[in-house]
Amino acid sequence: MTDTRIRVAVVGVGGWGPVHARAFSNRSDAELCAVVDCDPGTADARGREFRVPCYLDIDEMLRTERPDLVSLAVTNTRQVEPTLALIRAGVPLLVEKPLAFALADADMLLAEAAERRLFFAINFNYRYARPVRLAYEAIQQGRIGEPIFAAWRFEGSKSPTDHPHANLIETQCHGFDMLEHCCGPIESLMAEMTDVTQGGFTTLVVSLKFASGAVGCIIGSYDSSYEYANTQVLEVNGTTGRVIVEDTVRRFTFQEKGSEMRQVWETGYFNDSDRTIRKLIDVHLDELLAAFRAGREPPVHARAGRRALALAEAAIASCRTGRRVLVDRADGPIMPVGLQGRPPSHGTIVEARL
């Protein structure tokens, strides 16, 4: 680092990349030093918008700008090649989800980064929404008792990503990540999916068994609308209460079992920072840049992206075979406090371990 600020370049500024560029450009502890995009018009427009040099070529940008960190947000299904190039150049990385669309690609990226001992983060930004943080805190503090079931629903309109399992891999990765974040490792799953609208497997249901003994489900769809109220809902129900997150950033609710009273958090009139999905990265960057400066692992390592993809591939295998799939827990997150020490549950497993 050339001064007290971390020099950051953003690669891919045609989709979600401007959110990254805005976040870094507004920080006092970081300097947005460049943007890169394969489209000349997009690169030029974003360079002028953020008043930084623009490039069409990653290697040229690296030689000229020498960033301390690169934030990568290229088009889905095209992220592996530039991610690998940056890793092999020895550049610390923050990447957008999903990490990849094939488990072999995710494993290759992680292995290459580990070989170079690189800082390798992924932007599972939903963890940093205020309602999600409040829900996680309530679970950690034992306010809902022992989690018994958890439900995730996330519905919207079709993505431009040309992949038959785009909804499962690029969108419901948030569901897998959130449910394990709140309830611990998923032990097994079964899935049903439909392609009735002929745009790939756009709607799906996944039933889950957690290692703690709790159960859960994921409902995901691209055959709905982001304009609907409660297009995203997370519920975790425990032995003594439950928490609900609505539309990720809109509302948190806690209610004790047997009580007619609820505790609700919603954004106040002037609280713009907690009101929008696009500003969740700002909270993530507070932790990420502190870890980067201290030489620690990122708060959300890219391994979390691999974990979500492994669960997605297990769901695909389950739908294809009509069988329950046992999920390898080796790369799973640490079980939250209050769930540790319980033996894994048992059942009839009819699908080989992935």
In the chain, the domains with their CATH numbers are 6-125+279-300 (3.40.50.720), 126-275+307-326 (3.30.360.10)
**Whether residue 98 has a cis bond before it, omega within 30° of 0:** yes
| Structure confidence by residue, pLDDT tens digits, 180-210 | 999 999 999 999 999 999 889 999 999 999 9
pLDDT of residue 199: 84
Which runs of consecutive H residues, i.e. helices, occur in the chain? Answer: 17-25, 40-50, 58-65, 80-88, 103-115, 130-140, 166, 173-183, 280-294, 303-321
205, 218 contact by CB (below 8 A) = yes
Q: Which residues pair with 188 in a beta bridge?
A: 209, 326
Query: What's the CA gap between 243 and 150, in Å, rounded?
Result: 10
pLDDT of residue 353: 43
3-state secondary structure of 69: strand
Query: What's the CA gap between 310 and 331, in Å, rounded?
Result: 9
Q: pTM of the full predicted structure? A: 0.91
pLDDT of residue 290: 98
pLDDT of residue 317: 97
Residue whose C-alpha is closest to residue 105's, from 118, 87, 123: 87
3-state secondary structure of 314: helix
Query: What's the CA gap between 152 and 96, in Å, rounded?
Result: 21
pLDDT of residue 349: 40
Place of tokens 């045609």: 14
Segments of the chain with pLDDT less than 70: 1-3, 329-354
